[in-house]
Amino acid sequence: MNPALELDNLTKSFGKTEIIRGVDLSIGKGERHAIIGPNGAGKSTLFNLITGRFPQTGGSIRLHGADLAGKAPFEINRMGLSRSFQITNIFPKMTVFENVRCSLLWSMGYRYNFWSMVGRSRALTDSADEILDQINLTARRDLPAGVLSYAEQRALEIGITIAGGADVIMLDEPTAGMSHSETDYIVDLIRVVTEGKTLVMVEHDMGVVFGLADQISVLVYGEIIATGTPEAVRANPKVQEAYLGEALEAH
Amino acid sequence: MSDQLSTDPTKPAQRMRAGSMTIPLMPWVLGAALLAVLPFIFTANSAITIMNQMAITIIFALAYNMLLGQGGMLSFGHAVYAGVGGFACVHIMNMDDFFAAIPLPVLPIFGGLMGMGLATIVGSFSTRKAGTVFAMISLGVGELIAACSVIIVAFFGGEEGVSGDRTYGLPFFGVEFLQQIDVYYLIAVWLMISAALMYLYSRTPLGRMANAVRDNPERAEFLGYSARWVRFYSFVASGFFAGIAGALFAINYEILTEENLNTTQSGIILLVTFLGGVGFFFGPILGAIVFTLVQTVLSLQTELWGFYLGIIFVLTVMFFPGGLAGLIMMHVPAMRLGKLGRLGVPYVKTLGAGLIGCLGAAALIEMTFHVRHASTGDHEMTVYWTTFDSHTVLPWVLAIGATLVGFGIARKTAPALAEAWNDANTPDGTAQ
Amino acid sequence: MRTTTMLGLTTALTLAASAFAAGADTIKIAFIDPLSGPFAGTGTNGLHQYEFAAEELVNKQGGVLDGDMFEIVAFDNKISPKESLIQLQVAIDQGIRYIAQGNSSGVANALTEAISKHNRRNPDDRVLFLNYSAVDPALTNDKCNFWHFRFDANADIKMDALTDVIAADDNIEKVYVIGQDYSFGKAVAAAAVRFLGEKRPDIEIVGNELHPIGKVKDFTPYARKIMASDADAIITGNWGADMVGLGRSVLENGYTGPLYTYYAAADGITAAFGDAGVGSLKLVAEGQINPPVNDRAAAYYEAFKAKYPDGNISQARITNVIEMLAKAINEAGTADDVVPVAYALAGMEHESLWGTQLKMRESDHQIIQDVHIHAHTNDGVTFDYDNSGFGLKVDSTVTMAAADSPTTCKMRRP
Amino acid sequence: MDLILVNLIDGLVTGLLLFMLSAGLTLIFSMMGVLNFAHASFYMLGAYFAFQISLYLGFWMGLLIAPLAVGVMGAGVERYGLRRVHQYGHVPELIFTFGLALLIEELVQFIWGKNQMPYSTPEILQFTAFSIAGNSIPAYKIFMIFISIAIFIGLLYVLTRTRVGMIIQAALTYPKTVEALGHNVPLIFMGVFGVGTALAGVAGVIAGPVLGTFPGMAFVLGSIVFVTIVIGGLGSLWGALVASLLIGWITTFSKAYNLRMEDVLTGLGFTKPEPIWDSAWRDLWSITSPQIADILPYILMVLILIFRPYGLFGKRDA
């Protein structure tokens, strides 16, 4: 069986600067994989390469065995990969409900449909309400998304990401800028909504990482220096030296 | 139509809550009734001509708002889609045998298809990017086609345009569309159809995604939608309805000229749509009604109508970017709280005074203009149905007085209005 | 504001209520021309000429029929065909039966078609179209109809007269034709080539070109080309800013030969040319202003200047429109039914205030009159234009120009 | 051959004039990310102000004062108008400048009326500088060339060699950082807008006497200025220069030489349909280059936007 996501000697350069320097990574189906690393290690770039936001310079990315080279974000999404953003990226002028409904449209087969009313589909409304329920935003259903609190917007961001039913979910710092209680809330939420899916996340908060992930990769200067279970990574001297030591102290 | 529009009876509670999802039937019924009754109130042919013009502008503005309001695409050359649709229809009117075989009310479909065809060609390259690139391509294409209108005489008829006769079509249940009133009802029916279709379009998956792409094209891409194709389909749909507006123009005026294509026309439709308000479906309708009245009625009152329109437009962009519709919808929260009435008196005080100030300022502008530009020795002028000598002191004192007093009172009462506004928008019992 | 205020009020009334019956003692003439926008200057000046002519030539003489007065009602068409059609409808609703328009053949074309359709569809309130300036030949040829009367010489007639003068000038061997790229510019060019070919086959047309209308910012490249062609004479139908731009560019570039034009006077153009145009600028038009033909014409012009010091009588034919309409109404004995008025106008002969014989040709409703070639000068100009000291003086005259020119008009009469 | 030289000079004058307008516009764009639709209106104001001043103080004072007045107005528009609209986003900004263009045209007609103003070149420059094969080159044109080049060099110097220029360039790219460093970024923006419009004002002052000072002068030139900076690449000063000259020469040469579509098509191996006046393609066959000279830049722009959306010299998408 193919792994869910497979990176093979992936490289990316901006001009002469090489940001990703040959990453090999294999993420199995159903795995919860966290990518950690110091600032500027290239985590976000790696995310952007995988999701088609930037074209790669070399190497290959395979999703369920299919090569993603040259694919646009929407094509990759249709192949079953969905992502969230580090900086909240929702539709601020639309209601919370509509945000979720829009993210359901493609996967529910509506595509570029202009002959049926979205409001008339029970299945669509129910699915959207179900997701709202999952992310605990039912009470905010008909408010414009732009007026929600930060934590609520982050929850909505996750809701939008998982709504399409993608089986590979990539979360880019889902708890960035949150208080402790908010973080706990989001972690629980992520655990529930990604049940049975492959989860790839970038995260700085080690509490979140160790609470959620069953595999961790450490990215330093565009290279993966270690991959393994949280315990193994924690024990890895290279990681200790390069990153974890200071990071853990800071926390 | 009616059972399509009716709400789902199985889940009334949820429907009520959904708000945006339900399709309110009432405004449509009222609109249709109003359209049916209007010609009995305004019976003059000229009034009907103006109403026809209004209806055509409404369809065009709604089509334009599919781009600007719903899709976030700013086009500086949208007149060409309406224009080309109209030209095609006039050419059809001139194809004796073919036109004699089709009833006139069907003609707009051909105009729509023509507008759509052109939009498909242009959209295939212009919608790849939104923002400035799209705006500039629309400007370039608009200028090109407008310039072609005097070069490609075979289709556009040069500066004289192309004219036809609508009455040569197949009689439609015995109606030959000889009179303005026949044409009025034809246009009114098409107005209802087009507006309903455009409204329903905004409720389809594609229509919703057009909004999503407008707000955040990148996010839409990560939801499986290609922003480019969503824009393209919106553009094509907008071209279709613009073409219908052009076809109705052809039917009403029986002539199409270069002015239907040029950038001035494209600018006007932008102005109309924005004045009305791009954020709400009914905004462009208001804009079209107000603009047509200003253009045909105010322009008879004063030759400075363009100046006033320019001022109103710039002030709208600066202070009320939601346009007229935005202004009206601002009052919905207060209405929901049942406190709209509390705004009445402060409104009369401030806006009434402001209106006096505006009238005074307008009189000043008219008088200044008269003194500067009337032919030497012509001292007599008429403002507000009063004729006087513009070179005497009294009218100036009156006008300046009205301006100062009006704006002065408005300014003084403004804080009270603001307070009333806050009060009306705060639920009772909540501390502010 | 003028009469437009009154009009706005009535429009508001028509909007609010219903049609407005024409007053019993005034005969209204709708003046549909640009009163705002870039051509407002020309339109306003034309309106003044109409108002003055109606006042002086009809109302002060006791009016028509049983003392009915003429009233000019102004409608701003913003030089847009669409607006013109709306204003036409407003005018008809107000009970107006006579429509005067002149600026832009495009508008005239839209109006004549609309009026013809209206008269066919509404036999009870037919109207007449008094075209005083739109000179596209088609209006009295393929597109002619019974309701349209043209009081200006059309582009072909003017060119016929102009080429008579050119043909008589042996110094001219090379001619450059340049014009705006639209129907009128093309009509001028085609007529120039045709008439020169007939009258002086030896003349070489060294250039025949069209430029975009109203879009050229700098005419220098055209001027260079004209200079390079060694043309002895230039013919152009340009008007407005295109006329000023072309003329100035050519003259600045050292051109000294004649520049034959249709519309190079008044509305600021005479002032803009000033001294530079003297000796070169020639203009073909009807209506002799300088030297004044008689005391009556001089007195009329003086009275006009007294009332409108900034105005010009730049369209002398407007007096002909008013006088001939008054005469036709008197002959017909009615102003309400336009059919007898139209029959009276068709074929009418009249002596113009400006000293020339007029004949409204029955076959196509094209007026036949003397056409003059004027020179732009400051020498011997009794009445200048734009108060600039410069004006037009008649150089030569073609009597009853193109009186037997053919027409393709097949008029259907009621 | 001589004619080519003459046309080169004429095209240079047109191009440099266009450059003075597009330089300010492209500067403003790179700063605020918005195309100022009213830019050509400031050019018109420059001409009208200069005309009014020249009535009392002569041409040279007009050249000095009018651009300053236009610049102050421009700065005012930025301070009290654009800054307010900025919060609503780019599209309302674009619409605001569009409305401003309408308003300024109406304002000019309100104050000066609709006719062309008798604004003319100063007497001291009313002579022929030199002649090439019978074609005279007026001294005023040479003067225009010098003024434009001086402005270009001055602008380049200020932007790349002075402290103010450095701050502006930095503010363009990193407004937040520059603000954090203690510079008043809104003030810089206002200043750049003022300078940009003042440049348009200069162009108006020196072009008014040649191209005519009338209410439509902004409209005639308006959209061609956007075309220029879009072709050159939004935000690029060099791009604006190259595109301006390119447009100047393309339009001049296609007007000066009668390239006929008939010859092109026959050259390509098409046969002319007979009879031509009955053919649907008759208009295509009869096209000549002077006829379409002024729409060539639009064709060029659309092609550029399709194949190279960032323009000739641009670094980023519009």
What DSSP assignment string belongs to A118-184? GGG-HHHHHHHHHHHHHTT-GGGTTSBGGGS-HHHHHHHHHHHHHHT--SEEEEESTTTT--HHHHH
Average pLDDT in the C267-286 region?
89
**How many Å lie between the alpha carbon of B252 and the closest alpha carbon of chain D?**
27
Ranking B340-349, C397-406, D11-20 by mean pLDDT, the lowest is B340-349
Structure confidence at residue D27 as a pLDDT band (50, 70, 90): confident
Residues on chain A touching B237 (C-beta within 8 angstroms): 114
> Residue B213 — left, alpha, or beta (φ > 0 → left; ψ -120 to 50 → alpha)?
alpha
- In angstroms, rounded to a whole number, what is the distance separating the alpha carbons of residues C123 and C120? 6
- Give D113's contacts in chain C (Cβ within 8 Å): 41
The pLDDT of residue C4 is above 50: no
Which of C224, C241, C267 lies nearest to residue D135, judging by beta carbons?
C224
Nearest chain D Cα distance for residue C259, angstroms? 18
Q: How would residue C402 be classed by pLDDT, with cut points 50, 70 and 90?
A: confident
Which pLDDT band holds residue D40 (cuts at 50, 70, 90)? very high
Report the percentage of chain C scoring pLDDT > 70: 94
- Is the confidence at residue D290, as pLDDT, over 60? yes
Q: Is A196 on the interface with B (CB under 8 A)?
A: no
More confident residue, D318 or B26: B26
B230 interaction partners in chain A (CB closer than 8 Å)? 112
What lies within 8 Å, CB to CB, of A157 at 6+ separation is A84, A85, A88, A89, A90, A174
Cβ contact C109–B260 (<8 Å) = no
Q: Give the per-residue pLDDT at B22.
A: 54
Identify the pLDDT of residue B12.
Answer: 37
Nearest CA in chain A to B207: A114
Domains of chain B: 20-329 (1.10.3470), 332-424 (no CATH)
The token pair at B4 is 């399509």
A90 touches chain B (CB under 8 A): yes
- The nearest alpha carbon in chain A to B16 belongs to A142
pLDDT for the residue numbered D257:
82
Q: Chain A closest CA to B204's CA: distance in Å?
A: 5
pLDDT at A63: 92
- The CA distance from D37 to the nearest CA of chain B, in Å, is 11
Nearest C-alpha of chain C: how many angstroms from D176?
A: 42
What is the predicted pLDDT for the residue at C261? 94
CB contact under 8 Å between C78 and B43, yes or no, is no
* List of chain D residues whose C-beta atoms are within 8 Å of the C-beta of residue B125: 306
Q: What is the tally of helices (H) and strands (E) in chain B?
A: 21, 4
Q: How far is CA B301 from CA A67, B355, D202, in A?
A: 69, 18, 38
- pLDDT value of residue C23: 42
> Which domains are delineated in chain D?
2-257+290-307 (1.10.3470), 259-287 (no CATH)
- Residue in D115, D135, D294 closest to C253 by CB: D135
Taking CB atoms and an 8 Å limit, are D210 and C271 in contact across chains? no
The residue among A93, A112, A160 with the most chain B CBs within 10 A of its CB, best to mutate, is: A112
Residue B376 has pLDDT above 80, yes or no: no
Residue D316 — very low, low, confident or very high, per pLDDT cuts 50/70/90?
Answer: low
Residues of D with CB under 8 A from a CB of C: 3, 6-7, 10, 14, 113-116, 118, 134-136, 138, 210-212, 214-216, 220-221, 251-253, 255-256, 258, 288, 290-295
Q: Is pLDDT larger for residue D291 or for residue B37?
A: B37
C16 interfacial to chain B (CB closer than 8 Å)? yes
Asked if residue B18 has pLDDT above 60, the reply is no
Q: In percent, how much of chain A has pLDDT > 70?
A: 96
Collect all residues of chain C within an 8 Å Cβ-Cβ radius of residue D215: 38
Model confidence band, residue D178 (pLDDT cutoffs 50, 70, 90): confident
Domains annotated on chain C, with CATH: 2-134+317-351 (3.40.50.2300), 156-290+370-398 (3.40.50.2300)
Residues of chain C positioned with their CB less than 8 A from the CB of D115 = 41, 267-268
pLDDT at B107: 94
How confident is the model over B179-196, as a mean pLDDT? 94
* A97: contact with B, CB 8 A cutoff: yes
Nearest to B160 among C76, C105, C215 (CB): C105
Instruction: Using a CB–CB cutoff of 8 Å, tell me whether C231 touches chain D.
Output: no
pLDDT computed for residue C352 by the predictor: 93
Beta C281-285 vs C371-377: how paired, if at all? antiparallel
Q: What average pLDDT score do residues B210-239 get?
A: 93
Which amino acid makes up residue B214? R
Asked if the Cβ–Cβ distance from C210 to D210 is below 8 Å, we say no
Task: Calculate how close chain B gets to A26, using CA atoms only, in Å.
Answer: 22
Residue B226 above 90 pLDDT?
Answer: yes
pLDDT tens-place string over residues B382-422: 888 888 887 888 888 988 998 999 899 888 888 888 888 88
Q: What is the mean pLDDT of residues C298-314?
A: 90
Probe site for chain D from C35, C220, C385, C387 (most D CB atoms < 10 A):
C220
pLDDT score at A247:
53
Chains C and D touch (3+ CB pairs under 8 A): yes
Q: Residues C107-112: what's their mean pLDDT?
A: 92
Give the span between the Cα atoms of B60 and B81, in whole angstroms: 10
Complex ipTM value: 0.85
Q: Please write the tens of the pLDDT for every residue from C186-231.
A: 889 999 999 999 999 999 999 888 888 777 778 888 988 898 888 9
Residues 6+ apart with CB under 8 A from A29: A1, A3, A4, A167, A198
Contacting partners of chain A (3+ CB pairs under 8 A): B
Residues D49-108: tens digit of each pLDDT: 999 999 999 899 999 999 999 999 999 999 999 888 888 887 888 889 989 999 999 999
Mean pLDDT score of chain C, rounded to an integer? 88
Q: Is the predicted pLDDT of residue B11 greater than 50, yes or no?
A: no
Instruction: Give per-residue pLDDT as tens, A190-223.
Output: 998 888 899 999 988 888 888 889 999 999 888 9
Query: What pLDDT, on a 0 to 100 scale, did the predictor assign at position C299?
Result: 94
Give all chains having 3 or more CB-to-CB distances under 8 Å with chain D.
B, C
Exposure of B210 in the CB half-sphere (CA atoms within 13 A): 29
Task: Determine the Cα–Cα distance for residues C227 and C222; give it in Å rounded to an integer.
Answer: 9
Is C329's pLDDT higher than 90? yes
Long-range contacts (CB closer than 8 Å, 24 or more residues apart) made by A183-186? A183/A207, A183/A208, A185/A151, A185/A155, A186/A151, A186/A154, A186/A155, A186/A158
Average pLDDT score over residue span B360-364:
89
Mean pLDDT of C269-277: 87
Confidence at C318, pLDDT banded by 50, 70, 90: very high
Taking a contact as any Cβ pair under 8 Å apart, which residues of chain A between 117 and 136 contact chain B? 117-120, 122, 125
pLDDT of residue B137: 87
pLDDT band at A248 (very low <50, low <70, confident <90, very high): low
Testing the interface with A: which of B222, B225, B226 to mutate, by most A Cβ within 10 A?
B222
The larger pLDDT score, comparing residue B46 to residue A136, is at A136
Q: Please report the pLDDT score of residue B13 as a whole number.
A: 37
- Tally of residues, chain B: 432
Whether residue C41 and residue D114 make contact (CB cut-off 8 A), yes or no, is yes
Instruction: Show the domains of chain A with their CATH numbers.
Output: 1-79+207-251 (3.40.50.300)
Q: Are C253 and D210 a contacting pair at CB < 8 A?
A: no
Q: What is the model's pLDDT at position A118? A: 86
Task: Please give the Cα distance from A107 to D246 (Å, whole number).
Answer: 50
List all residues of chain C from 32 to 51 with a beta carbon under 8 Å from chain B. Answer: 35-37, 40, 48
Mean pLDDT of chain B: 86
Average pLDDT over residues D130-142: 82
Q: Who among B159, B295, B381 is closest to C106 (CB)?
A: B159
Do the chains contact at D215 and C253, CB–CB below 8 Å? no
CA distance D184 to chain C (A): 40
Q: In terms of C-beta distances under 8 Å and separation of at least 24 residues, what long-range contacts does A63-70 make, across chains too?
A: A63/A4, A63/A5, A63/A168, A64/A2, A64/A4, A65/A2, A65/A6
Residues in B 55-94 with any Cβ partner in C closer than 8 A: none
Cα C161 to the chain's mean position, in Å?
16
Cβ count within 10 A of residue A27 = 21
Q: Is residue B307's pLDDT more than 80?
A: yes
Q: A touches C (3+ CB pairs < 8 Å)? A: no
pLDDT at B67: 93
Mean pLDDT for B41-68 is: 92
In this prediction the pTM is: 0.88
The model's pLDDT over C346-366, given as tens digits with 9 standing for 90+, comes to 999 999 999 889 999 999 999
Helices in B107-226 by DSSP H: which ranges? 107-126, 131-151, 153-156, 180-202, 205-215, 217-221
Q: Which chains touch C (3 or more CB pairs under 8 A)?
A: B, D
